[in-house]
Structure 1
Amino acid sequence: MSGPTRRAFLTSAALSSAALAVSRGGVAHAASDDSALDKPLLALYTGLEAAMRAGKATPFAQRFDALAPSVDGAFDLMTILKVSVGLRWDSMDQATRDRLLQTFRRFTIATYVANFDKFDGERFKIVPGTRDSGSDKIVRTEIVPQTGDPIRLDYVMRQEQGQWRAVDVLLDGSISRVAVQRSDFRKILGGGDAEALITSLRRKISDLSEGALNS
């Protein structure tokens, strides 16, 4: 997947010289005091590189299963979904919320698998230092292609029960992926209910996986 295409995906779907390369791949991690913050992102990028190296020669479902733990560990999908849905979340019963979360999780993982399906020598870099956003911390990372400009991705990290996970991704340090997603979801919910959103996400999962995942 080319740099411009990945940039479009990250907008709409809406992840130092002292850097030391991780032994398992091209993920670079500069020394810092934020290891608890960096750990889930390091695992995510290691998983993404593995998925890219596996490529389309490896069945989609197999790449999905391999990447799923890294996505689960890096993102607070419940919080992201709740913010994306907005006020309608409060009116949903628990069974509907559970089904929507399960579908949203599969959609999120499938999106990453479909869009990171080819390795072109990219490096993933976690930049040392963080900045505060209220009680959240923002970690800067970069996807560095062999040629061209790096793609900057900042992760808004939130701590729950001692674990840091991302609740948003900021392209170029400012464009919120969750905000873009919230706009998309609310358009669907405005013309229907939770079932309309679930149906839409399931259709996208099937399209992303070219039918390998039915829902």
Structure 2
Amino acid sequence: MLVMISGLRAESLENEGAERVVITLQNTLIQAMQQGQEIGYSGRLKLLTPVIEQTHDLAAIIRSVLGTHWAKLDSDQQQAITRVFQANSIATYADRFNQYDGEQFKIIEQTQLPRGRMLVRSQLIRSDGSPVNFDYVMHEAGGSWRIINIVVDGVSDLALKRAEYSAVLQKDGVTALIDMLEQKTSRIEQNQQ
């Protein structure tokens, strides 16, 4: 009986860990929105960078997005694509979460998924009361839960990126994909000035 209870307690703590990661991200996004105009793009970038690096497994995300293409890259190409993907991901967050109008996040539920993954369902409640659904697919990496996919109102970010990046890779190769991501990040930075 004691073994069963301690097993349940450990599972409960694991679940709480996944939820805590999402709450950390969402609280920081709200903070970035609230301070958005005051601290500007560079301030939002500085605020969000360590939190996104801590809450997302960006290296696993880019490997998953590239699928079979990943194994065909040499280590320098893998490092380069990971670096520009990380920079673009963080820049995109800093760009999109830039002003506050009373929005609030709330956690809806957690669900255990196959292969030891966890789904944390949440909503962003807009100021008019309308919700945007954010579902976070998470896995454990390095002893902590990390986000590996975000599904917004039923649309998988991973699937969108996989389709877009695969088309560029097949047509023009990895150098073109790296250039595309660098250009996207540069455009975000230029639009913020």
| TM range, smaller chain | 0.7 to 0.9
Deviations 1:97-131 (A, max 9, x none): 11111110010010011111110000011224324
Pairwise CA distance, 1:85:
1.2
Amino acid at match of 2:184: K
TM-score normalised to the size of structure 1?
0.78
1:129 aligns with one of 110, 126, 151: 110
2:88 aligns with one of 81, 84, 107: 107
1:72 aligns with one of 50, 53, 59: 53
Pairwise CA distance, 1:209:
1.8
Q: Find the aligned partners of 1:91 and 1:61 in 2 and give their Cα distance.
A: 35
Q: Please give the residue correspondences for 1:29-178 in structure 2 after superposition, counting only pairs within 5 Å.
A: 34-172=15-153, 174-178=154-158
Determine whether 1:181 maps to 2:167: no
Contact 2:56-2:147 within 8 A present in 1 as well? yes
The one of the two structures with greater contact order (alpha-carbon pairs below 8 A, sep at least 6) is 1
Amino acid at match of 1:185: Y
Unaligned runs of 5+ in 1: 1-31
Percent identity over paired residues: 28
1:12 aligns to what? Answer: none
Contact 1:40-1:70 within 8 A present in 2 as well? no
* Cα RMSD, aligned residues only: 1.8
Contact 1:52-1:118 within 8 A present in 2 as well? yes
Contact 2:65-2:162 within 8 A present in 1 as well? yes
Contact 2:110-2:118 within 8 A present in 1 as well? no
Of structures 1 and 2, the larger Rg is shown by: 2
Deviations 1:107-158 (A, max 9, x none): 0010011111110000011224324233211110110112142111111110
TM-score normalised to the size of structure 2?
0.87
| Range with bigger deviation, 131-140 or 85-94 | 131-140
Unaligned runs of 5+ in 2: 1-11
2:4 aligns to what? Answer: none
Amino acid at match of 1:209: E
2:9 aligns to what? Answer: none
Amino acid at match of 2:81: L
Count of residues in correspondence between the two structures: 181
Q: Find the aligned partners of 2:83 and 2:31 in 1 and give their Cα distance.
A: 24
- Give secondary structure in 2 for the equivalent of 1:179: helix
1:206 aligns to what? Answer: 186
2:177 aligns to what? Answer: 197
Pairwise CA distance, 1:38:
1.3
Larger % of helix: which? 2
Contact 1:80-1:167 within 8 A present in 2 as well? yes
